[in-house]
């Protein structure tokens, strides 16, 4: 499943080749940068927000950028963070990726003055925390008066790693989830520098997809991230512990999925590479490994189905002080508006469980079996593949998103839920039950027609373009005001547990505010979760 998500993340981490016509220069805290003008948008790429995390800085919090003299060229993307990637040969990393990768990109309306105070959106890419890239295109937002910032953050074992000697080194520093530290460092860069580009540091919206959406929940609940943003949007982000990555938020006995400490997983990785012991000398040998050996093909175990060698996000007790679920239940999250949702047919197959039939799938609900049948297959005539796809979607994405929205509403902040059910015209034959994981992203960015592997998709239809225009407008409104509604748009109702309303972008492309059509399904999932949750995912 990890490969599927990495593939999808690469598809939506698209790049546009533009013809520069001029080069705007902006003074940042570290030096001047010169971007390019693409029509009515100014673009700045490859701006460092931290020092390269290499050598002695591998598995250290992001370090300050070294100031430069003169004007730095910001016309080209920096490297994506080191990853195995789709089709990468054994012993290599994906083309265009590197351990030196802590760069961000920025799109702003051309000729924006430094006192413009435009709203800012910060995009966090997906990729299961092992792949993907922030090298995307923000033109669709910049054309609507919003500054779009996209970031890269460390992936795989470079982004999440623990080891006994590492825990003892620099005891004053946070440990474990360096990916989240990178994201926080980028947000601090925005606070320090965005005014020079015409942005308002007091109006920053973070948004992300898949693992980037999990990051949104983490940033909402990590104490040191509070105050760095003012609104949040989660795309296919879940909202409960572990249900998206399926990996542990590691600490002894902290995870219901893998009750193995992150340090133990780090020791397993060291042993795979012939490194014995847990002292400083062992850590030095780990830091001496080539980046290709650290990435290790993106493997999560020793390659033989044995011990785990990659942890995923880590509950260290300092940076990540508590799990997302516990933070939401206690009302400890940042007090900001939230927009959250998913596609109607995220992923099929045995993503959550190994059931081979409807009867087997419903049986995992135990005493809720009949209620599950009634919710998912009331007439008894649905195909197993459809039921399984709906179940995967609800368990991993939709019910956890409702839980997060309910938690936000409970502390008095507005929450808005979306359900994206529109299938692009060119994909209707392939997406039988609805749009899959990541389908909504190109519509939100208003950047259609960009392909992934193989030939590009057919040109978007007028209907596709209209859906993209409307989606982008909702997101722009939310970034500007904290409310997605605006002139000329169908009303998006605020979420309330009493009304259970959301906005569905229907199969015909029309956005409609309505009572959640999946409520019965989500209710039975929620009951199963509250009864001990026998519906645990396999993970991605």
Q: Which residues are catalytic?
A: 210, 346, 437
> Is the CB of residue 390 less than 8 Å from the CB of residue 238?
no
What backbone torsions phi and psi does residue 340 show, to the nearest 5 degrees? -150, 150
- What is the C-alpha to C-alpha distance for residues 205 and 179, in angstroms, rounded to an integer? 19
Q: Which helix (H) or strand (E) segment is 165 a member of?
A: helix 164-168
List Cα–Cα distances, 412 to 152, 235, 476, in angstroms: 32, 22, 23
Distance CA 486, CA 488 (A): 6
Map residue 141 onto helix, strand or coil.
Answer: helix
Task: Say how many C-beta atoms besides its own lie within 10 A of residue 355's C-beta.
Answer: 17
Q: Any residues with CB less than 8 A from the CB of 455 and at least 6 apart, and which?
A: none
List, in order, residues 6 or more apart from 54 with CB less than 8 Å away: 99, 100
Identify the H or E element spanning 347: none
CA 332, CA 67: separation in Å to the nearest integer? 37
Rounded CA-CA distance 480/487 in Å is 14
Cα–Cα distance between 367 and 365 in angstroms, integer? 6
Backbone angles phi, psi at 161, to 5 degrees: -160, 145
């Amino acid at each position: 499943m990890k490969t599927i998500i990495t593939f999808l993340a690469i598809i939506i981490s698209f790049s546009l080749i533009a013809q520069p016509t001029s080069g705007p220069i902006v003074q940042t805290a570290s030096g001047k940068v010169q971007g390019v003008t693409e029509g009515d948008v100014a673009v700045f790429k490859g701006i460092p927000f931290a020092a390269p995390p290499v050598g002695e800085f591998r598995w250290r919090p992001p370090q300050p950028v070294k100031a430069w003299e003169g004007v730095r060229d910001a016309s080209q993307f920096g490297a994506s963070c080191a990853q195995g990637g789709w089709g990468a040969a054994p012993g290599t990393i994906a083309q265009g990726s590197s351990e030196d990768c802590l760069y961000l990109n920025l799109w702003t309306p051309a000729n924006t003055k430094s006192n413009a105070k435009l709203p800012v959106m910060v995009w966090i890419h997906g990729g299961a925390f092992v792949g993907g890239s922030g090298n995307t295109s923000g033109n669709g937002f910049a054309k609507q008066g919003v500054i779009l910032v996209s970031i890269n953050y460390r992936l795989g074992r470079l982004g999440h790693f623990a080891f006994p000697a590492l825990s003892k080194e620099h005891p004053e520093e946070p440990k474990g989830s360096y990916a989240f530290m990178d994201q926080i460092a980028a947000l601090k860069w925005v606070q320090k520098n965005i005014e020079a580009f015409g942005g308002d540091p007091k109006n920053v919206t973070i948004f992300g997809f898949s693992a980037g959406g999990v990051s949104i929940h983490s940033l909402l609940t990590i104490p040191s991230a509070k105050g760095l943003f003012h609104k949040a949007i989660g795309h296919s982000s879940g909202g409960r512990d572990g249900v998206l990555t399926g990996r542990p938020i590691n600490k002894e006995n902290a995870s219901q999925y893998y009750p193995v400490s992150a340090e133990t997983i780090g020791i397993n990785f060291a042993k795979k590479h012939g490194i014995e012991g847990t002292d400083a000398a062992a850590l030095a040998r780990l830091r001496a490994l080539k980046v290709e050996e650290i990435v290790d093909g993106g493997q999560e175990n020793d390659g033989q189905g044995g011990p785990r060698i990659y942890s995923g996000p880590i509950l260290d007790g300092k940076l990540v002080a508590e799990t997302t679920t516990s933070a939401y239940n206690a009302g400890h999250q940042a007090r900001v508006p939230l927009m959250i949702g998913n596609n109607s047919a995220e992923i099929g197959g045995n993503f959550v469980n190994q059931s081979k039939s409807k009867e087997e799938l419903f049986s995992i609900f135990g005493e809720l079996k009949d209620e599950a049948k009634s919710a998912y297959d009331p007439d008894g005539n649905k195909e197993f593949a459809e039921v399984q796809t709906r179940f995967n979607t609800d368990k991993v994405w939709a019910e956890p998103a409702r839980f997060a929205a309910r938690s936000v509403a409970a502390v008095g902040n507005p929450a808005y839920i979306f359900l994206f059910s529109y299938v692009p015209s060119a994909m209707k034959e392939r997406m039988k039950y609805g749009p899959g994981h990541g389908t909504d992203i190109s519509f939100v960015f208003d950047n259609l027609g960009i392909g992934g592997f193989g030939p590009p998709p057919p040109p978007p239809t007028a209907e596709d373009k209209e859906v993209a225009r409307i989606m982008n407008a909702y997101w722009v409104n939310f970034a500007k005001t904290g409310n997605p509604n605006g002139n000329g748009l169908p009303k998006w109702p605020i979420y309330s547990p009493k009304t259970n309303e959301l906005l569905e972008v229907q199969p015909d492309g029309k956005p409609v505010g309505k009572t959640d059509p999946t409520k019965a399904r989500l209710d039975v999932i929620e009951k199963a979760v509250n009864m001990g949750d026998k519906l645990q995912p396999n993970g991605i």
